[in-house]
Structures are given as structure tokens and as C-alpha cells.
């Protein structure tokens, strides 16, 4: 049984999933948009939760703190397996800004200060450090196929998936940290990945101090070299 939250956004999944012949239960979920029970190793029952977001909602929820401050911690505490399903075809523009494919109108820029490399870094951090499985989808239909395929995979006995299960290594999880205002601003700077945010938070006492920092000060941040420091200072000055 697939439990789908009937509220705005995830309610669009209900009709296509039902058309695919999947058993659907409409119910408000405290965390996530879709949930179901999975068959784990030795037939252990595992809870699976899927957070469904458009690219614009993903970026907005990151910047306002909902993603790391509320949604992902709640998902990780509520489910054994957590998926983040992002809908939208994106690419990097020549200046590393994010652009999205908008049907017949072609590529258009996303209104966000987040760079493409930063976004990829965030998603990699969610996967590698926190065990969140990230799926990308082009459109609503593909999203529903992703959900249906994931659901069907986990309904089979775990051991029936063949030799793949013998090389599976469980992913490590870390507690998610609620991003501060300094971290949110720093995350928009070129060359600043998620792994540097804690060091930046420790180095600067305020946003004002951070944006007024020169190249020498930035180079005292662990992992920030001369080129990155110069790029950050130039970026801030241009703004």
C-alpha cells in the first residue's frame, strides 16, 4: 500500500499512480509526501519515505531552512529509508547558474543565487553523509514511474534481487545541522560546498564580518585556497 499525502503538490501523484494499478491510501503524513512498507533483509519490515520536490521548491526550502532544519531530520527519524525525488530538468549555464528546461520555451534561468555546483554538492552530501537516496525526474509522469518502480522493487524479497545484495554496504548517517544565517549566505558563494559551511560559521562572527572579509581572511578558512578566496571577494563586491 502506497500512502500519499493529499495536500498540495503530492496530490498530483495520486491519479497517475492509481492509473498504474498501484494501491493508494490518501492520508496526511507528518513527514514526506509518499510512504510505504518495504521488505528488507531477512524479511524485516522497513519504513520508506519519499520527499517530492520541484527544483524551485528544493532551492527555496534549502534557503529558508525547511529542508535541513525540519524536513530531512524528520524524514530520517521517521523512516528507515529516505528518498528525495526532485522533479525538473536542469543544467549549468556558462556562469554556473542553474537553468531549467521549460517545455517548448526551452532553457530559462532559475531565480536563485545558488550555483549549479553548490546544488550538486548539497545533493551529494545528502546521499554520502546522511544516506538520503536522491532521484531526479523530468516531469510528473516520470516522477510517478520512479515512485512506482521504487515501490515495486521493495515489495520483492530482498534476497531475490540477486548478487547485488551481497555487495551492498549500508550508508552512514550523520545528524543534520540546522543552517544558520551565516551558513545560508555562505552557501551562495562560489566554491563553497556544504563541507566548508561549519568552518565558515566558526571563522566569522556575523554576516557583516563575512561579506567584508578580504582574501587573506578567507584563506584562513579550512579548505579555501587563493582562487576560491578571490572568487568569493569578487562575487561579494559585484553584488
- Give pLDDT tens digits for 41-80: 888 888 999 999 999 899 888 877 788 778 888 898 899 9
* Mean of all residue pLDDT scores within the chain: 86
Measured distance CA(119)–CA(193) in Å, rounded:
9
Same domain flag for 48 and 158: yes
- Give pLDDT tens digits for 22-41: 999 999 999 999 999 998 88
Say how many domains are in the chain: 2
Task: Residue 190: name the closest of 161, 157, 218, 170 by CA.
Answer: 218
Same domain flag for 85 and 190: no
Same domain flag for 147 and 227: no
Helix axes of 11-19 and 140-155: crossing angle, nearest 10 degrees: 60
* Sheet (strand 107-109) strand order: 90-92, 98-101, 107-109
Same domain flag for 33 and 129: yes
Q: Give the Cα-Cα-Cα angle 208, 99, 104 (nearest 5 degrees).
A: 150
Q: Structural domain of residue 202, as residue ranges?
A: 181-238
- Is 164's pLDDT higher than 60? no
Q: Which pairing describes strands 34-39 and 45-54: parallel, antiparallel, or unpaired?
A: antiparallel
What pLDDT was estimated at residue 183?
78
What pLDDT was estimated at residue 89?
93
- Asked if residue 173 belongs to a domain, the reply is no
Tell me, what CATH number does 189's domain have? Answer: 1.10.150
- Give pLDDT tens digits for 92-141: 988 898 999 987 788 888 888 788 988 888 888 888 878 899 999 999 99
Measured distance CA(141)–CA(118) in Å, rounded:
27
Same domain flag for 105 and 189: no
Q: Which of 167, 190, 220 is the last residue of a domain?
A: 167
What pLDDT was estimated at residue 163?
59
Burial class (CB in 10 A: 0-12, 13-18, 19+), 109: exposed
Q: Are 48 and 32 in contact (CB under 8 A)?
A: no
Q: Are 136 and 86 in contact (CB under 8 A)?
A: yes
Measured distance CA(224)–CA(232) in Å, rounded:
10
- Report residue 125 as a C-alpha cell: 552530501
Same domain flag for 185 and 88: no
Q: Are 47 and 38 in contact (CB under 8 A)?
A: yes
| pTM more than 0.75 | no
What pLDDT was estimated at residue 172?
43
Amino acid at each position: 500500500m502506497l500512502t500519499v499525502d493529499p495536500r498540495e503538490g503530492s496530490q498530483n501523484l495520486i491519479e497517475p499512480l492509481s492509473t498504474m494499478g498501484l494501491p493508494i491510501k490518501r492520508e496526511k503524513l507528518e513527514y514526506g509526501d509518499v510512504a510505504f512498507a518495504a521488505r528488507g533483509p531477512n524479511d524485516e519490515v522497513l519504513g520508506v519515505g519519499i520527499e517530492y520536490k520541484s527544483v524551485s521548491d528544493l532551492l527555496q526550502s534549502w534557503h529558508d531552512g525547511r529542508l535541513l532544519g525540519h524536513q530531512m531530520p524528520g524524514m530520517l527519524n521517521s523512516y528507515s529509508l529516505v528518498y528525495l525525488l526532485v522533479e525538473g530538468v536542469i543544467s549549468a549555464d556558462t556562469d554556473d547558474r542553474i537553468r531549467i528546461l521549460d517545455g517548448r520555451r526551452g532553457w530559462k534561468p532559475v531565480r536563485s543565487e545558488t550555483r549549479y555546483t553548490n546544488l550538486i554538492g548539497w545533493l551529494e552530501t545528502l546521499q554520502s553523509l546522511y544516506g538520503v537516496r536522491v532521484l531526479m525526474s523530468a516531469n510528473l509522469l516520470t516522477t510517478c514511474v520512479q515512485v512506482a518502480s521504487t515501490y515495486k522493487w521493495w515489495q520483492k524479497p530482498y534476497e531475490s534481487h540477486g548478487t547485488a545484495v551481497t555487495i551492498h554496504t549500508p550508508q552512514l548517517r550523520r545528524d543534520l545541522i540546522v543552517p544558520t544565517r551565516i551558513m545560508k549566505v555562505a552557501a551562495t558563494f562560489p566554491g563553497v560546498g556544504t563541507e566548508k559551511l561549519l568552518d565558515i560559521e566558526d571563522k566569522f562572527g556575523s554576516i557583516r564580518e563575512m561579506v567584508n572579509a578580504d582574501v587573506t581572511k578567507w584563506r584562513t578558512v579550512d579548505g579555501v585556497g587563493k582562487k576560491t578566496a578571490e572568487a568569493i571577494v569578487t562575487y561579494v563586491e559585484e553584488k
